[in-house]
Structure 1
């Protein structure tokens, strides 16, 4: 992830309506377009886009009512490329793996649509239209897929090359056009190649009792990999994320790996606790998993009592937080929490995961919990989940229960979830949340407000952040008003490459996302 950046994102949105026609690309010249990922370049043959994370969208959205979008293009390197027409977060694919057309995403579901109608290098005329509550996608005069869609929904239409090369000569729309929201402002907190690190990864962020933002990450000195000389870093902001201090080293153990930040602020004492993990820099995950490393992954804890300015020497806490047959181990990554209500009020709860080697023929990953009931003086091992779970995040429910959202290896592309009624000591049966369609990747969950909270306008709000769909791109935030049972609000944050993330409620009430961008 040589060019990855961890950036703080503040969410803003606005829209204005226009009626009539719009020309986005005219005779290969961009007139009014939005792009994500690498630039689309004007050539004598058309507007050219290639790669995997690049998307070309019209400069305006289609608002409520009927509309028609027309695109003229040619596609090379088409074979099994997964080149698509984009409709909001759904895709019609010209040709995917197996050599068939396909559709995927919330509008279409996953479908195979038969042999391709587009040939390598031939001219393509694609039309996307809505009439009343039905969406239609057609190519070269043939209707290829229809799907229900609300006539009131705003729609983005565009193109994604995904390993192909697209040359766009025409792109126009007619209907009720709506100004696209301005991209939320970004502030780069850690930039790869700067400050002596090759790559910055694994973000975490918290707000201290004084309102200071503390952004943590791994500073990977010599490469992008998960092993080697990796330091734990922190940067501070005292102005709601507008400016940031130079990164300060929390832990540098010469050439070894110090990572996986999972910070939490004790609201009673003001102490910031920082769970982390450690391994020899020469040991890779495969070595640790195979039992060939000198040491397994170890668990450490550091803390700060001066608002994140200085940090204690990390202390090993593995004896009470891991089992002897565990080898791989990761805290978080992302923020931990303190419970604010219920019988376990005040408990510090750390999400974590490990590899289980109790059966030498199987080595599954499992999520688990670590907690402290004495303000960080001691740390204990809590509940352990079933296999096929991994990196995770936790959020407090309105009755003091804990909801854990986990990276899933169940092969369904959904988040694994489970609820604890005893502060993380045990969990109810795991379930896969059909609304949270996410790749195999870390994600984050945040309590924004309780229904009875001051200034919450009597609403419970829980936020969830992750790439959406099958790959590490297309970062979204979901919102739930009913304690995570449903997620009716979904907002795209970034169309391009995006991976690990951590949500935060800023002191002024806005929402921030510290995330890996364009890696």
Structure 2
């Protein structure tokens, strides 16, 4: 069975409290297919567990769902980007130590029943504590985010920034229930970046930079290489998967030479090794 998720207008538009939502499917719904995607069921509502009004649905804010990730134990994670409509005054506990450049803050919701119910989202930036003082609000500036689960169970997340000079990175060691303080990436992925963790535990991130760029890490994201240029004129917004152990299959769209006509989609196979990526 294939299960697909979508979000409704209540997530996209500003609302004050969950009671303002007339139907549960206005937030998250799902469709199932038992014939490899040829036909799909009618949308079914997912249930939101707990008090989502405290952090997510508040006056002057709006939210956007950016993708889903499934862990090896079957747990689903979904990313909520929490927006403040460019108004710094609306950000709670705004002050010294707040990361980033406004616009949105990342929250993660978990589902342990294949998306039937979703838990209250938690911030993906555990802003530092100073002498017992409550931390500042999670940083702003997150956008398109990619996740990968290492063999150790650690979940690494990297994201495209809005105005920051580099991307963002954080990780979770408890299945996405809590996240560490965000740090800068030494590169800035965009164009819908994709990330995989290979069977050997290597991380590979593909995204649009000056061209189609690939960055790898052999130590769980502590250090990253300088990057490899895979292609030139491209928008990426593609897909990457581990086709076989430590081999990344990268599928992407490439605009035409003039930029207004598309060429055929392209694919590359790249083996990820401890010494760097090797084309196949």
* TM-score, normalisation: structure 2: 0.67
1:397 is aligned, of 195, 198, 201, to 198
Alignment check: 8 A CA contact 2:161 2:188 kept:
no
Relative CO higher for 1 or 2, CA cutoff 8 Å, sep ≥ 6? 1
**2:111 counterpart residue number:** 304
**Superposed CA offset, 1:125-176 (max 9, x none):** xxxxxxxxxxxxxxxxxxxxxxxxxxxxxxxxxxxxxxxxxxxxxxxxxxxx
Match of 1:423 in 2: 220
- Aligned partners of 1:422, 1:249: CA distance in 2, in Å? 37
| Shift of residue 394, structure 1, vs aligned partner | 0.7
Structure 1 position 486, deviation (Å): 2.6
The CA deviation string for residues 440-475 of structure 1, in whole angstroms up to 9 with x for no partner, is x5333211322xxxxxxxxx6422233212469557
Correspondence for 2:168: 368
The 5 A counterparts of 1:85-164 are none
Distance apart, 1:480 and its partner CA: 0.4
In the alignment, which of 258, 276, 279 is matched to residue 80 of structure 2?
A: 276
For the residues of structure 2 that align with 1:338 and 1:430, how far apart are their CA atoms?
A: 21
Question: Shift of the alpha carbon at 1:242?
Answer: 2.9
**Aligned equivalents of 2:247, 2:29: Cα separation in 1:** 28
Where does 1:10-21 land on structure 2 (aligned, <5 Å)?
A: none
Cα contact 2:213–2:228 (8 A) shared by 1: yes
- Report SS of the residue matched to 1:327: coil
Counterpart selection for 1:259 from 61, 64, 76: 64
What pairs with 1:191-230 in structure 2 (closer than 5 Å)? 212-220=1-9, 228-229=13-14
Matched, 1:294 2:85: no
Q: CA deviation at 1:418?
A: 1.1
* Higher strand content, 1 or 2: 1
SS state at 1:400 partner: coil
Change (3 A) 1:324 1:475: farther
Q: 1:244 to 1:381 in 2, by over 3 A?
A: farther
CA contact (8 A) 1:275 1:331 kept: no
Please list the CA deviations of residues 37-64 of structure 1 after superposition, one character each: whole Å capped at 9, or x if unmatched: xxxxxxxxxxxxxxxxxxxxxxxxxxxx
Deviation at 1:249, TM superposition (A): 5.6
Gaps of 5+ in 1: 1-211, 356-362, 451-459, 488-519
Query: Structure 1 residues 368 and 430, CA, compared in 2 at 3 Å: closer, same or farther?
Result: farther
TM-score by length of 1: 0.39
Q: Distance in 2 between matches of 1:352 and 1:429?
A: 17
Contact 2:105/2:138, CA 8 A, preserved across alignment? no
Q: Which has the larger radius of gyration?
A: 1
Distance 1:375 1:386 in 2: 25
Distance 1:377 1:311, change over 3 A: closer
Residue 233 (1) aligns with residue 28 (2): yes
**CA distance 1:306–1:387, shift in 2 (3 Å):** closer
- What is the aligned partner in structure 2 of residue 449 from structure 1? 244
Q: Which whole-Å CA distance do the structure 1 matches of 2:261 and 2:223 have between them?
A: 31
SS of residue paired to 1:377: coil
**Deviates most, 419-428 or 248-257:** 248-257
Q: Which residue of 2 aligns with 1:242?
A: 38
Q: Closer, same or farther in 2 for the Cα pair 1:327/1:481, shift >3 Å? A: closer
| Cα pair distance change 1:214/1:384, threshold 3 Å | farther
> Considering only aligned residues, what root-mean-square deviation do their CA atoms show, in Å?
3.7
For residues 478 and 386 of structure 1, the distance between their equivalents in structure 2, rounded to whole angstroms, comes to 26
Task: Flag the 1:216–1:370 CA change in 2: closer, same or farther, 3 A.
Answer: farther
Conserved 8 A contact 1:278-1:298: yes
Q: C-alpha separation between the residues in 2 aligned to 1:349 and 1:261?
A: 16
Contact in 2 for aligned 1:260/1:330 (Cα 8 Å): no
Question: Which secondary structure does the structure 2 equivalent of 1:308 belong to?
Answer: coil
